[in-house]
């Protein structure tokens, strides 16, 4: 990839989300983190129990009533806590594949609240991809964690490479989206993240950060190399506003 160092020891991704960069690079050694416990559980299940996961996924139905029944399980924590890790991972994939725009969103109580997508034939079971990801997870040396980004990066040493893809700074007052995880990510968090980047830089650790191209972000990282790129964003309540938008890549190399 154009914006990745030619060589590095350990790859760190504190906001892994869907893991697009992780799966593109497939580093031999990585520390993969996210504050979303259900997401980290999903990755660990794919690593350790992929065949059980595939079997469980086959039971799901592309039905509106069934969708809301399964979505509502996290409203009753006692019942939800009885689900096995495989069942929780299967539920997460099912909801992602059948909800509106594949948008993972939770409310302040940490409950999944994206509506049903009404898709005719969503691919709920993608066994080939799941097995391929499981194969990579098992041949690489990967540590999965669910911690604060600052804690995760404390152990990073010179020679490592850190990719940071935090919740983006909103481009307008009405565009704020911090509900990926119940904790949110406001500008105080953006500033704390920048201070973490400063510490990485002082330790001689290469980092790459992506964010929205707001004046706030560009000013915050003005001491580093910044490149504005066009990125496609498929999620917007208005179809005519989906498409390419300006984003920034910030790097210290």
- Determine the pLDDT at residue 183: 55
Please say whether the beta carbons of 74 and 168 come within 8 A: no
The count of structural domains within the chain is 2
Distance CA 3, CA 207 (A): 10
156 and 230 fall within a common domain: yes
- Determine the pLDDT at residue 184: 72
Q: Could you tell me which residues come within 8 angstroms of residue 122 by beta carbon, excluding any fewer than 6 positions away?
A: 62, 97, 98
- Determine the pLDDT at residue 233: 60
Q: What is the extent of the structural domain holding 72?
A: 40-127
197 and 75 fall within a common domain: no
200 and 121 fall within a common domain: no
Helix (H, G, I), strand (E, B) or coil at 164: strand
Burial string for 13-42 (b: 16+ CB within 10 Å, else e) reads bbbbbebebbeebebeebbbbbbbebbbbb
Inside any domain, residue 139: no
Inside any domain, residue 141: no
Inside any domain, residue 116: yes
- Determine the pLDDT at residue 234: 53
28 and 49 fall within a common domain: no
Q: Looking at residue 205, which CATH number applies to its domain?
A: 3.40.50.150
105 and 229 fall within a common domain: no
pTM (2 decimals)?
0.88
157 and 226 fall within a common domain: yes
Q: Looking at residue 46, which CATH number applies to its domain?
A: 1.10.1020.10
- pLDDT tens sequence for the chain (253 residues): 789 998 999 999 999 999 999 999 999 999 999 999 999 999 999 999 999 999 999 999 999 999 999 999 999 888 899 999 999 999 999 999 999 998 888 888 888 999 999 999 999 999 999 999 999 999 999 999 999 999 999 999 999 999 999 999 998 765 544 444 445 799 999 999 999 999 999 999 999 999 999 999 999 999 999 999 988 665 444 444 455 789 999 999 9
């Amino acid at each position: 990839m154009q914006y990745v160092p030619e060589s590095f020891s350990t790859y760190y991704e504190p906001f892994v989300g869907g893991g697009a960069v992780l799966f593109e690079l497939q580093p031999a050694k990585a520390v993969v983190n996210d504050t979303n416990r259900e997401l980290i559980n999903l990755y660990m299940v794919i690593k350790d129990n992929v065949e059980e996961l595939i079997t469980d996924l086959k039971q799901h139905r592309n039905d509106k009533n069934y969708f809301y029944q399964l979505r509502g399980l996290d409203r009753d924590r006692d019942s939800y806590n009885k689900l096995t890790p495989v069942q929780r991972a299967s539920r997460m994939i099912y909801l992602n594949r059948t909800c509106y725009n594949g948008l993972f969103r939770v409310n302040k109580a940490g409950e999944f609240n994206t509506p049903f997508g009404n898709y005719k034939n969503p691919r709920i079971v993608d066994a080939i991809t799941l097995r391929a990801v499981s194969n990579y997870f098992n041949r690489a040396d990967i540590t999965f964690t669910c911690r604060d980004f600052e804690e995760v990066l404390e152990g990073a040493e010179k020679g490592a490479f850190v990719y940071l893809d935090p919740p983006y700074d909103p481009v307008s007052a009405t565009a704020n989206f911090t509900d990926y995880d119940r904790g949110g990510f406001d500008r105080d968090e953006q500033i704390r993240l920048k201070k973490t980047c400063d510490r990485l830089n002082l330790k001689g650790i290469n980092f790459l950060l992506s964010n929205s191209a707001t004046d706030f972000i560009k000013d915050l990282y003005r001491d580093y190399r910044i490149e504005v790129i066009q990125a496609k964003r498929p999620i917007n309540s208005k179809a005519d506003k989906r498409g390419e938008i300006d984003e920034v890549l910030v790097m210290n190399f």
